[in-house]
């Protein structure tokens, strides 16, 4: 029977899901790769040799035609096991889990298996690297599809192989090093965190949308309270984004405002769905903040001037006034500002004032005269002229259009 193409395809899918797959030839001998090095690392030689013998007996006992086993072991790891058609070979995939591992759950598992306390850090890292699929249908669909190509009729059985280890003498005397999978997972997490920060720092939201890691469901829970745990992750995400935006020379005033608002929104969420929606909003808005306020490419004098303009729109922002404020020659300032920003100081100031006018028209019902004053323009006729030049509408016409849309 030529089923290799289906088996290879299934193994590719599972590998992309970070589930290790193996084809085992007879005689069936345990290999440390089958459980990601867990037993080989924590058990002593005698216990590990016993495990190898137990594995051989298990294969001999449960190798059935047309049957797939989903095995749950004492370490709460899941494995897919099946005897391949017309062959003495078996297919095994795992380990993975159908349930997330909180710190409390890991502690309970260590207690159940009498794992000494010196292994706590190792076990935390091991479970952090374990693929988790809270919807069992994901894995079952993949296996069902494979088996429909292998046999006309087949059976899926779930088997619990719970060998309670209640003797500490089974374990190694030395504190183990992290497994290769654990190390790779940590490296990937820190690499993706760096990529996230770089994307934020450049205001590149498209790159963030393509990042696999961002969903907080990929992060190992630390608490049994899943909403609190997700909120804690969101607080960390908010901090990471704020530090990334800070590296793009966004002024602390802007950073503090957006960070504080998101901190309040995070605590106000009452469901995972709300937090997931907010997660995307956080990264998007920090990117927009960088796009609007990053001063990365400007010299220090121009950075200072831009920040001064942003926080003093009602002040005298003429070339002469700003030159005096920063003790710079007006001709030098004019040339430097045009060179770095691509526009004149006057046009830049007017642009910022019109941006603020648009914001006020969208968020308040202030009279046009008051909006003009808050934008630093006391002559309402001049304000209207500038606004119409920017939006091709008078402030009144713009407000009417907003009201019609709502």
Looking at 221-225, 243-247, 335-339, which range is the least confident one?
Answer: 221-225
Q: How confident is the model at residue 379 (pLDDT cuts 50, 70, 90)?
A: very high
pLDDT, greater one: 48 or 5: 5
Q: Encoding tokens for residue 367?
A: 């009279």
What count of Cα atoms within 13 Å lies in the side-chain half-sphere of residue 42?
A: 24
Looking at 80-94, 154-168, 291-305, which range is the least confident one?
Answer: 154-168
* Distance between CA atoms of residues 356 and 353, nearest Å: 5
Looking at residue 1, its pLDDT comes to: 57
Looking at 81-95, 125-139, 219-233, 290-304, which range is the least confident one?
Answer: 219-233
Residue 331 bridge partners (DSSP): none
pLDDT, greater one: 201 or 162: 201
Looking at residue 215, its pLDDT comes to: 45
Using alpha carbons, select from 223, 222, 224, 197 the residue that is nearest to residue 208. Answer: 197
φ, ψ at 71 (rounded to 5°): -100, 135
Looking at 97-101, 166-170, 305-309, which range is the least confident one?
Answer: 166-170
- Three-state DSSP string of 283-306: HHHHHHHHHHHCCCCCCHHHHHHH
Give me the mean pLDDT over the 349-377 stretch.
Answer: 94
Q: Encoding tokens for residue 340?
A: 């770095």
The pTM (predicted TM-score) of the whole model is 0.65
- DSSP E strands in 90-203: the ranges are 90-96, 155-161
Contact criterion met (CB below 8 Å) for 119 and 42: yes
Residue 204 has pLDDT above 50, yes or no: yes
Looking at residue 164, its pLDDT comes to: 58
Rounded to the nearest 10 degrees, the angle between the axes of helix 226-247 and helix 272-293 is 10
Contact criterion met (CB below 8 Å) for 302 and 341: yes
CB under 8 Å, gap of 24 or more: what pairs does 189-195 form? 189/213, 193/240
Residue 46 has pLDDT above 80, yes or no: yes
Looking at residue 177, its pLDDT comes to: 81
Looking at residue 210, its pLDDT comes to: 74
pLDDT, greater one: 20 or 101: 20
pLDDT tens sequence across 273-295: 898 889 889 999 999 999 989 99
| Interacting residues of 374 by C-beta distance below 8 A, sequence separation 6+ | 313, 314, 356, 360, 366
Q: How confident is the model at residue 167 (pLDDT cuts 50, 70, 90)?
A: low
Question: Could you please report the per-residue DSSP string of 43-107?
Answer: B-HHHHHHHHHHHHHHHHHH--TTEEEEEEETTS-EEEEEEPTTSS-EEEEEEEBSS---HHHHH
Residue 299 has pLDDT above 50, yes or no: yes
- DSSP E strands in 225-359: the ranges are none
Could you tell me the strand order of the sheet in which 155-161 lies? 21-24, 90-96, 78-83, 67-73, 155-161
Residue 35 has pLDDT above 80, yes or no: yes
Give me the mean pLDDT over the 175-179 stretch.
Answer: 79
pLDDT, greater one: 250 or 179: 250
Domain ranges, ordered by start, for the chain: 4-177, 182-293, 300-405
* Distance between CA atoms of residues 1 and 168, nearest Å: 47
Mean pLDDT of the chain: 88
Q: How confident is the model at residue 6 (pLDDT cuts 50, 70, 90)?
A: very high
Could you name the CATH architecture of 300-405?
Orthogonal Bundle (1.10)
Looking at residue 378, its pLDDT comes to: 94
């Amino acid at each position: 029977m030529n089923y290799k193409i289906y088996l290879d395809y299934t193994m590719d899918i599972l590998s992309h899901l970070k589930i290790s797959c193996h084809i085992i030839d007879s005689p069936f001998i345990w290999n440390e790769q089958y459980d990601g090095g867990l037993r080989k690392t924590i058990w002593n030689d005698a216990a590990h040799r016993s495990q190898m013998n137990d594995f051989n007996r298990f294969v001999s006992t449960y190798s059935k035609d047309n049957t797939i086993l989903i095995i749950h072991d004492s370490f709460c790891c899941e494995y897919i096991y099946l005897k391949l058609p017309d062959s003495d070979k078996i297919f095994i995939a795992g380990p993975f889990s159908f349930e997330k591992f909180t710190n409390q759950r890991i502690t309970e598992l260590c207690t159940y298996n009498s794992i000494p306390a010196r292994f706590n850090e190792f076990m935390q890292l091991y479970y952090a690297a374990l693929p988790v699929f809270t919807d069992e249908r994901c894995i079952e669909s993949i296996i069902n599809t494979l088996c429909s190509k292998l046999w006309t009729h087949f059976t899926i059985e779930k088997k619990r192989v719970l060998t309670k280890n209640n003797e500490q003498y089974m374990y190694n005397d030395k504190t183990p090093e992290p497994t290769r999978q654990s190390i790779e997972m940590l490296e990937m997490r820190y690499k993706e965190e760096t990529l996230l920060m770089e994307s934020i720092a450049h205001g590149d939201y498209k790159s963030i949308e393509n990042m696999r890691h961002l969903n907080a469901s990929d992060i190992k829970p630390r608490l049994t309270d899943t909403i609190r745990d997700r909120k804690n992750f969101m607080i960390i995400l908010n901090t990471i984004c704020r530090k990334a935006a800070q590296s793009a020379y966004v002024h602390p005033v802007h950073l503090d405002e957006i960070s504080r608002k998101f901190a309040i929104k995070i605590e106000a969420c009452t469901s995972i769905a709300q937090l997931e929606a907010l997660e995307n909003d956080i990264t998007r808005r920090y990117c927009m903040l960088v796009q609007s306020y990053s001063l990365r490419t400007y010299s220090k004098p121009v950075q200072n001037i831009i920040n001064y303009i942003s926080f003093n729109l009602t002040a005298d922002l003429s070339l002469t006034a700003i030159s005096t404020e920063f003790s710079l020659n007006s001709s030098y300032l004019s040339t430097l500002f045009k060179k770095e920003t691509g526009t004149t100081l006057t046009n830049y100031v007017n642009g910022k004032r019109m941006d603020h006018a648009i914001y006020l028209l969208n968020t308040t019902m202030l009279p046009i005269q008051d909006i003009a004053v808050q934008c630093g323009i006391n002559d309402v006729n001049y304000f209207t002229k500038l606004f119409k030049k920017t939006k091709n509408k008078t402030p009144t016409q713009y407000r009417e259009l907003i009201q019609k849309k709502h």
